[in-house]
Structure 1
Amino acid sequence: MFENMQIMKMAESMARHAAQRQTVVSQNMANANTPGYKAQDVAPFSETYTEGADSPMRATRAGHIGADHMVTSSVMTRSDPGTMSPNGNSVSVETEMVKAVEVKRQHDQALAIYKSTLNILRTSVSRS
C-alpha cells in the first residue's frame, strides 16, 4: 500500500535533481577561471519529471529490464546570453551563486514535501 506512493517518488526525484544541479553549479564555480570553459546547467525539474499513463515507462536502476543506463537529467551547455571573458570563459560567479540558492530552495522544498507526506501518513495510521 505505501510502497508505490507517487508523492514520495516525486520528492525523491526532486531531491536527486537538486543534487545533480548543485554538482553542475559547483563545477562551474570551480572552473570560473579556466580558459574556454563554457557554463553548464541541468534542465529544470518540471521539464524532466513526467508522470501519468501516457508517458513511457522509465527505468530507475541499471538492473531493471530493458534499462541500459540510469535515467538522469542531462547536463547541457548553458546558452543564455551573458558576458564572455576574453579567454572564452562564460562562467559568472554571481549567476552561479544565485543558482546555488535556487538549488537549495528546491532541495528544501523536496524535504518539506517528504516531511508533510510522512506527517499525513502518521496521522492517518494513528487514527485508524
Structure 2
Amino acid sequence: MDLKSISLFSSLSQKMDWLTERQKVLAQNIANANTPGYTPRDLKKVSFKAQLDQTNATGGLSMQTSERGHMSGARASASRFEIKEQDSHVAMKAPDGNAVVLEDELIKMANTQMEYATAINLYRKHSSMLRLALGKRS
C-alpha cells in the first residue's frame, strides 16, 4: 500500500517537498550574501485551497508506471514550486546592491527546519496509528 494514496500523507509529503525546496533557495541566498546586486529569493507559499483542489482533482492517487515507455503520472518534481524574488527594502541594501540580510535568512531557515520536523513527526504518528489499526507492530 502506497501511503501517498491517502490524502493526509500526500499533503504531508507535498509540504515536506516544499520545505526541502525552500531550504535550498534560502541556502542559495546565504551563499550569495556577498554577490553584488543579488536579490534574495523565496518560494511562493502553497495555499491550502490549491493543495486541496489538486488532491481532489487527482483523486489523491498518483499513476504508477511498470514499463519504461508508459506515461508517467501528473505529479511533478520538487521544482514545481514557484520561486519569487523577495521584496527588499531600499534601506536594507548594501552599497554593492546586495539585499541579503543574513539574520533574516537564518531565521527563515530555522523556521523551515522546525516546520519540517513537525511534518515528519505528524507523518510518523499517523503511519504508526495506521500500522496499529492494521495489527502490525511499529
The TM-score with structure 2 as length reference comes to: 0.75
Partner amino acid, structure 2, of 1:116: K
CA contact (8 A) 1:14 1:106 kept: no
Shifted more, 87-96 versus 37-46: the winner is 37-46
Aligned to 1:51: 52
Q: 1:39, 1:93 → 2: CA distance?
A: 10
Matched, 1:122 2:102: no
CA contact (8 A) 1:33 1:89 kept: yes
CA displacement at 1:125 relative to structure 2: 1.2
SS in 2 for 1:13: helix
Any gaps of 5 or more consecutive residues in structure 2?
A: 64-70
Aligned to 2:12: 11
Q: 1:26, 1:16 → 2: CA distance?
A: 15
**What CA RMSD, in Å, does the superposition of the two structures yield over aligned residues?**
3.1
Cα distance change of structure 1 residues 2 and 23 upon mapping to structure 2, 3 Å threshold: closer
Shifted more, 74-83 versus 48-57: the winner is 48-57
Shifted more, 73-82 versus 8-17: the winner is 73-82
Q: 1:48, 1:39 → 2: CA distance?
A: 27
Q: 1:100, 1:124 → 2: CA distance?
A: 36
CA contact (8 A) 1:48 1:73 kept: no
Any gaps of 5 or more consecutive residues in structure 1?
A: none
After TM superposition, the runs of 4+ consecutive aligned structure 1 residues lying more than 3 A away are: 45-49, 52-58
Partner amino acid, structure 1, of 2:115: Q
More helix by share: 2
- Equivalenced residue count is 124
Matched, 1:93 2:94: no
CA contact (8 A) 1:15 1:110 kept: yes
CA displacement at 1:64 relative to structure 2: 3.0
Q: 1:122, 1:22 → 2: CA distance?
A: 31
Cα distance change of structure 1 residues 53 and 19 upon mapping to structure 2, 3 Å threshold: closer
SS in 1 for 2:84: strand
Matched, 1:77 2:85: yes
Q: 1:53, 1:31 → 2: CA distance?
A: 34
Cα distance change of structure 1 residues 52 and 76 upon mapping to structure 2, 3 Å threshold: closer
CA displacement at 1:113 relative to structure 2: 1.4
Identical columns (%): 22
Aligned to 1:39: 40
